[in-house]
Structure 1
Amino acid sequence: MKTAVVICPGRGTYNKSELGYLARHHADKASLLAAFDAERRARGQEELAALDGAATYAVARHTRGDNASGLIYACSCFDFADIDGEAVEIVAVTGNSMGWYSALACAGALTPEDGFTVVNTMGTLMQESLIGGQIIYPFVGEDWADDDARRRELLALAASIHAPPLRHLALSIDLGGMLVLAGDAAGLDAFEAAVPPLQGRFPMRLANHAAFHTALQEPVAERGRAMLDHGLFGQPRLPLVDGRGAIWWPHASDPAALRDYTLGAQVTQPYDFTRAVVTAAREFAPDLFIVTGPGTTLGGAVAQSLIRAGWRDMRAKTDFQRLQESDPVLVSMGIDEQRRTVTRPR
């Protein structure tokens, strides 16, 4: 049996190619999906089944925070349930950004239904407020070799741009070999004007994303704390690695503190996904990292995080590729052939 750390993806992972993901992979989860959709109907929201079953994918419809969050959560949690417990021992769970809410449910600190309430509430609040935006920019080259000097340069540039109340710009997510920065329009515009275009797509603005993980989100965090009851949170059944690299252990975690972090610092302070992955690698030494669906884009950030840490002597993309070919360390459940290696036969 192999050991695995499971990683839940965040916003931006349910895209055109993921349309129909729930129907393709999780027709057997109809009763739980119906429970999620009952909550959405009560809020006057479109059902996840209708969004997933739409004839065409629409950015304006599917990437909205109040729609994307629920879709991604359902895909992640249902994928987690499909992992074959006889072939894989899950030793810890973590997530990227919004994926923290999914990780809470996968690790058992929230029931699936309560996890949905949390993610749907926070996604809706962020969409209603839509304070600021996000931009993504790499600090490593296409070889993925770590370049901490360039990382520091970009963070110094962001700090020089940040000049409230004129401009807001700050680190949102430390994401492997990329930085996700967040701020208001003036701050994002200034950063775009100051950096060279790279790889034909960076700097990249993220559609329907707010200034997540910055102080600009404090009003959202405050509303979330007012709406989400303390009783939703409990002890995790599996170790949880949060966006600071801190571990919440089973039978030794304070549910009130877990709620305070989830609806406080997790919303308003930078999310260090790289540290979460590196902590999971060093503390649990898994054979595999399993990234649940939807999407496949988070795999690169996981590999880049491990390269930055020199895990298993990886220093560049070619090292990761060589290891992946001989003794795979990363499974993306959004890729069918990889999915089959960790799920029960149907």
Structure 2
Amino acid sequence: MSEHSQPVSQPSTKERLLIVCPGRGTYNQAEWGTLTRHAAGSEWLARFDALRREQGQPTLSELDGDTPFRLSVHGRGDHASPLIYACTLADTLAIDRERYEICAVTGNSMGWYIALALGDALSQDDAFTLINTMGHLMQTSLNGGQLLYPWVDDQWRPQPERRRELLSLIEELHGQDGSELYLSIDLGGMLVFGGNEAGLKRLTEKLPPMERFPMRLHQHAAFHTPMQESVKAEARQRLPATPFGVPEVPLIDGRGKLWSPWSTDPETLWDYTLGEQLVTPYDFTTALKVSVREFAPDRIVIPGPGATLGGAVAQALIQLGWWGLNSKAAFQDMQRDDPRLISMGIEEQREWLVKK
């Protein structure tokens, strides 16, 4: 070997993981106690609890352990958001990095804030401040609400005509007798609508009932719609761009835009996070598709709490034809033999990733 030659690097034998951070609605009765089980005694949780105490808020340890679960308490944005972040952080920190490497991070709605922490664009504590502040602002304004409705069939296969009909309802109903109605989140095989009470009431009357749909989301504001302009203005005053940095792991946002470690401008990242992201539709489906196409992960991981995001992820993967998926049955077959989608809120799936 000459003095100028370089040794050839060996390809990594680690499995590549795409992390998909959950949003609101994932910490429920079944998840109560999860944080205590996975993070009790951790230094970072003690810091988060101290930050909550400084704000005169119940600590996460108290909410997850001492305070019996009540949806009216634990479902509030100012409590649910930091609880979800802490549970997701605990799961991600538990992943065995000798066997797995995180190749990219994305998230759904509030999950974007968590992604900023997992991708190291924000420190753990700065991400906590962001999430705690946004949860508080959303809870105190609670402007509008959200409603969920599917556009896929019972095998999670796309029904484009149904989707077009659902989207046309926005144009039909918005502005009718004071109604406000918008697309809030494109969520796999479902659409999340945001609007005021008049708009959501009219939409509910128009939608054919099917199983548990249309589903009104408890204590959710009209996220990702123009109805959050006042929250956006307040957030930009309270949360400066200073803590934002260049991510160490690629991030994919709610438009499907890639924020790479080599090209990210931190101030632009702040401007999106506390700007466009708050008042325009969040396209989680596109974010997931871009993540899979760009980074070709071996597995997709949804950290806890809960597992409610798994269906939406699977529906988006069916649209993409990932690993030949074309139906709910095909997805269930894949999961049975060699789960490619791992929800860490399911304990037996969590065991796949943590250190033995």
Normalised by the size of structure 2, how large is the TM-score? 0.94
SS in 2 for 1:92: strand
- What is the alpha-carbon distance in structure 2 between the residues aligned to residue 328 and residue 14 of structure 1? 23
When the two chains are superposed, the root-mean-square deviation of aligned CA atoms in Å is: 1.1
For the Cα contact (< 8 Å) 2:39–2:45, is it kept in 1?
no
Counterpart of 1:286 in structure 2: which amino acid? Answer: P
Counterpart of 2:39 in structure 1: which amino acid? Answer: H
Aligned to 2:36: 23
1:74 equivalenced with 2:82 (yes/no):
no
For the Cα contact (< 8 Å) 1:292–1:334, is it kept in 2?
yes
1:127 equivalenced with 2:139 (yes/no):
yes
1:1-346 mapped onto 2 (5 Å cutoff)? 1-29=14-42, 31-163=43-175, 166-199=178-211, 201-345=212-356
Q: Relative to 1, partners in 2 of residues 1:55 and 1:217: Cα closer, same or farther, differing over 3 Å?
A: closer
For residues 196-220 of structure 1, what are the alpha-carbon distances to aligned partners after superposition, in whole Å with 9 as ceiling and x for unaligned?
1111x11111111000000000110
Q: 1:325, CA displacement in angstroms? A: 2.5
Q: 1:32, CA displacement in angstroms? A: 1.0
- What is the alpha-carbon distance in structure 1 between the residues aligned to residue 284 and residue 67 of structure 2? 34
SS in 2 for 1:4: strand
List alignment gaps of at least 5 residues for structure 2: 1-13
- What is the alpha-carbon distance in structure 1 between the residues aligned to residue 63 and residue 237 of structure 2? 28
Normalised by the size of structure 1, how large is the TM-score? 0.97
SS in 1 for 2:178: coil
Q: 1:141, CA displacement in angstroms? A: 1.8
- What is the alpha-carbon distance in structure 2 between the residues aligned to residue 215 and residue 158 of structure 1? 14
| Count of aligned residue pairs for this structure pair | 343
Identical residues among aligned pairs (%)? 53
For the Cα contact (< 8 Å) 2:186–2:283, is it kept in 1?
yes
- What is the alpha-carbon distance in structure 1 between the residues aligned to residue 237 and residue 78 of structure 2? 18
Counterpart of 2:229 in structure 1: which amino acid? Answer: E
- What is the alpha-carbon distance in structure 2 between the residues aligned to residue 167 and residue 44 of structure 1? 37
Q: 1:310, CA displacement in angstroms? A: 1.8
Q: 1:2, CA displacement in angstroms? A: 1.1
- What is the alpha-carbon distance in structure 2 between the residues aligned to residue 53 and residue 3 of structure 1? 34
List alignment gaps of at least 5 residues for structure 1: none
For the Cα contact (< 8 Å) 1:233–1:255, is it kept in 2?
yes
